[in-house]
Amino acid sequence: MKSYAPTTPSRRHLTNVSYASLSRVKPFKPLLTRLKSRAGRNSQGRITVRHQGGGNKRLYRLLDFKQNRLDIPAVVETIEYDPYRTAFIARIKYEDGEHAYILACQGLKESSQVITSESAPLKTGNRLQLKNIPVGYQVYNVELKAGSGGKLARSAGSYAEILAHDHNYTDLKLSSGEVRRVPWSGLASLGQVSNPEHGLVVIGKAGRSRWLGIRPTVRGSVMNPVDHPYGGGEGRTQRGTRKPKTLWGKVTGGRKTRNRKKWSSKLIIQRRPKKSKK
């Protein structure tokens, strides 16, 4: 982590991830595209996600989450920063000359070799079917369905641990503590996603949130009664309602939001543990 001399009050506690390990190159143009900034608005122009807007302009890197080019070795050319995700990414070049961006795992370096194969060696960065990975190994970018592309364990520092193989399914323990069953025909990469220090970043000042496209959030308790269920009262008052609610009166705490009829519920063996109250 990088810390800074307290030349101003905002820099006193500000921290950032060190980018010393990244390649000093410009992003690969053929794998770049511009995403239109919608600032939390839907197709009708109405705000559906509050507190979004502004921020620095950025280019989207087209990542290959499938990595399904079997038995074609690839060499890591660069490790790069990606403004659209918490993890670092790697630019690889296949033996046939094709380039691709993939999620970089912890410990991956320039000139490392990676391969997707049923008989790939059990080396960090290689990609195999889940059934070919022994129990106890850490994996990331895991497919929920064969050929669909990685969906699980993609953010910085995350991984899933293989607990068991049984009847065409693999049991995975996710970073949240949930134990989930997925078909063992899906692909997964060996290792842990890069940039595990991302969770230690201290934003430090309001302006840095604005650079990220995050606008200010006003607490409901400081609003008027007409604007929020928590509003009104003399001075610093309590919430005024029994249950925590949104701006529109929808209960937010103590009520389960997952659809009871969701088909994948039967594949969840153990729910993530509840956070203990301080």
Spatial separation of the C-alpha atoms in residues 150 and 89, rounded to whole Å? 14
Spatial separation of the C-alpha atoms in residues 189 and 145, rounded to whole Å? 15
CB contact set of 84 (below 8 Å; sequence gap of 6+) = 35, 58, 60, 61
- Helix or strand or coil: residue 221? helix
Amino acid at 257: T
Fold of 18-38+56-198: SH3 type barrels. (2.30.30)
> Taking 80 as the threshold, does the pLDDT of residue 220 lie above it?
yes
Q: The whole model's pTM is what? A: 0.88
Structure tokens at 112: 């490392």
Q: Determine the average pLDDT of the residues in 146-175.
A: 93
Radius of gyration for the alpha carbons in the chain, expressed in angstroms and rounded:
22
Give the model confidence (pLDDT) of 99-156 as tens digits: 999 999 998 999 899 999 988 889 999 999 999 999 999 999 999 999 899 999 999 9
CB contact set of 175 (below 8 Å; sequence gap of 6+) = 153, 158, 159, 160
> Taking 90 as the threshold, does the pLDDT of residue 254 lie above it?
no
Spatial separation of the C-alpha atoms in residues 75 and 170, rounded to whole Å? 29
CB 203 within 8 A of CB 96: no
Give the model confidence (pLDDT) of 141-155 as tens digits: 999 999 899 999 999
Task: List, as one string, the DSSP characters of 191-204.
Answer: S-BS-GGGGG----
Q: For residue 258, name the pLDDT band (cuts at 50, 70, 90).
A: confident
Give the model confidence (pLDDT) of 181-208 as tens digits: 999 999 999 999 999 999 999 999 999 9
Among the ranges given (63-67, 168-172, 214-218, 252-256), the one the predictor scored with the smallest mean pLDDT: 252-256
Hey, where are the domains in the chain? 18-38+56-198
